[in-house]
Chains A and B, each alone.
Chain A
Amino acid sequence: MIAMTQTLETRTPEGTATTAGAKLHARAQHGRTAETMIHVPASSAPARLTKNLPADAQDSLTWAETLAFGRYTHMELARGTRLRLTDLDGDACVHAVILRSGAQHERLNVADTVKVPWQAYMTTGHPLLSDAGRLMATVVADSSGNHDALTGTTNVAGNTAKYGSGSAHSPSPAGRELLTLGGMKHGVSQRQLPPSLSFFKGVTVDPDGRIQFAGSAGAGAAVELLLHMDSVLVLANTAHPLDPRPEFTGSAVDIVAWRAPQDLAALVDGTSTVDLGPEGRLALHNTELDYNARTSA
């Protein structure tokens, strides 16, 4: 199982008592790899992250990262980007918020995301909607089916009660802390963060309203999102709030993104095999109208 590695450095023979020695010591670390890390440029990612991608995706990779369990990442992605999250070892839980680039008052709205398409369980074809009646992203592929738009993420109080700690620097960081950090790096305060959804750990609802934790769909499951607007994506890989295990337990997630303008065009012109449903298509056209209205000819 892939886990975050943190190598404690030791002094080199040259020592670190001088700026020259300290500089040599620092630079000697360049180019090392860890099991969980972002790969820059994205084309330098290990083959594991990019296998099974469409042929043209290899040439337009924009993001490749393995995100450790207990950590967060964030990226501003352009409209037409396709993102794949892979639950490599089957125990990731990726909490996500989406904010519109440059207009971050427009945010993911999880209530509209389940209410508008008349469906609580997200899978292929599900529209991820903003609070402005627009389509932020479409779930364009999904081999998991176990996701959650109802129970949100974890907080410090809950993780402290369950695991003994929940702060960002602790061994069991809460999702709210991690998402807040990611948001703040894009100028978004905790107050501006919307409720999140999560991938790779599912819940179901009984007819009497009781929530059941459905857990993971297993190792290797992947979910893919297509972005319909330039967006800031903040992701936190940490325990699901209803995970019944007493220990903070999970695994890393592989992230790759590439430019897929043809996939966006197919959804817009109705030739995609992905069915957004009537409400999702209306949302798509609201997004297109907004995009066209503010884009110079």
Chain B
Amino acid sequence: MNAIAEISPALIEGKVVLDELVEARGPWSAVVAAGDVLTIVDLDGNQAVDCILYAAHDTGTRYSAAMTIASQGSIFLTTGSVLRSDSGQELMTVVADEVGIHDTIGGACSQESNTLRYGQHTHEQHACVENFLIEGAKWDLGKKDLVSNINWFMNVPVDPDGALGIVDGLSAPGKRVALRAEVDTLVLVSNCPQINNPCNGFNPTPVRMIVTRPEARA
């Protein structure tokens, strides 16, 4: 961890209030207090981090990809993107980004959709929806609460004819994205277990979560 810490500190300076490793293929969650900044570190490069946001005090207020896209007029997330709920509430803002493009139209992989994308033989493979279900249950969230999501470090271009797909990522080992909470935000994550497409470089790896509190607030 010390070696990693030197390579990849938090993107936004401040008192470290949380610093955790998310194991490959695993789930993670935490409440990030309003004003605090979550840095997600793509330790080994091209690791999709599927992510849903909820207002911590009202989980019915949850991230909406459509609202976020409509509000900013772009499908890509990067510095300046305001991550909104379907009621328009600002949940988090991307305050720093070392990659430039993150996805929010590609959804989350599931055992069920894997059967359509890659074939029935992939049905037994672990998938993001299972991570969301098992981790969300800790917060009394269920299937109904899984709607749209963000895929940090994932690259999903749309061609002029509408063709879209997950292609090779633009991230690299140690690249980071930082999110400032605008309200106390429950961040639900699946460190994507997908092995059938390039979203994880065909090799799911750990990521690191660092929450910092800017000194003025510490």
Contact = CB atoms under 8 A, between A and B. Distances in A.
Contact of A176 (B86, B156, B166): B86
Contact of A286 (B76, B112, B146): B112
Interface in A96-125: 105, 109-112, 114-116, 118-121
Nearest to A166: B88
Given A150-B75, A176-B87, A118 B110 contact: no
A151 B66 contact: yes
A90 interface: no
Contacts of A109: 107, 113
A194 B147 contact: yes
A116 B115 CA distance: 10
Contacts of A241: 66, 70
A156 interface: yes
Nearest to A134: B112
B88 A157 contact: yes
Interface in B102-119: 105-108, 110-117, 119
Interface string B11-46: 000000000000000000000000000000000000
Contacts of B87: 155-157, 176
A105 B144 contact: yes
A132 B116 CA distance: 10
B195 interface: no
Interface stretch (B2-10, B157-165, B184-192): B157-165
Contact of A209 (B88, B101, B120): B101
B157 A155 contact: no
A170 interface: no
A194 B143 CA distance: 11
B60 interface: yes
Contacts of A210: 73-74
A158 B161 CA distance: 30
A283 B119 CA distance: 10
Given A118-B163, A156-B87, A286-B115, A209 B75 contact: yes
Nearest to A194: B147
Nearest to A283: B116
Contacts of B64: 152, 195
Contacts of B69: 150-152, 211
B65 interface: yes
A131 interface: yes
A282 B115 contact: yes
Interface string A166-180: 000000000010000
Interface residues of A, number: 46
Contact of A195 (B66, B119, B162): B66
Contacts of B146: 131
Q: Which of A111, A131, A150, A241 gathers the greatest number of chain B CB atoms within 10 Å?
A: A111
A176 B145 CA distance: 16
Given A115-B164, A176-B87, A205 B158 contact: yes
Contact of B106 (A105, A111, A158): A111
A118 B164 contact: yes
Contacts of B66: 110, 150-153, 195-196, 241
Interface string B146-174: 11110000001111111111100000000
Contacts of A119: 162-164
B99 interface: no
Given A150-B69, A155-B88, A283-B116, A111 B165 contact: no
B134 interface: no
A151 B70 contact: yes
Contact of B105 (A121, A150, A208): A150
Interface of B: 60, 64-67, 69-70, 73-76, 86-88, 101, 105-108, 110-117, 119-120, 129, 143-149, 156-166
Given A152-B67, A242-B70, 13 more contacts: A131-B146, A133-B111, A133-B114, A150-B69, A151-B70, A152-B64, A155-B88, A189-B144, A191-B145, A196-B66, A210-B74, A242-B73, A282-B116
Interface of A: 105, 109-112, 114-116, 118-121, 129, 131-134, 150-153, 155-158, 176, 189-192, 194-196, 204-205, 207-211, 241-242, 279, 282-283, 286
13 contacts: A105-B143, A112-B110, A115-B106, A119-B164, A121-B162, A133-B110, A176-B87, A195-B86, A208-B74, A209-B74, A209-B157, A210-B74, A282-B116
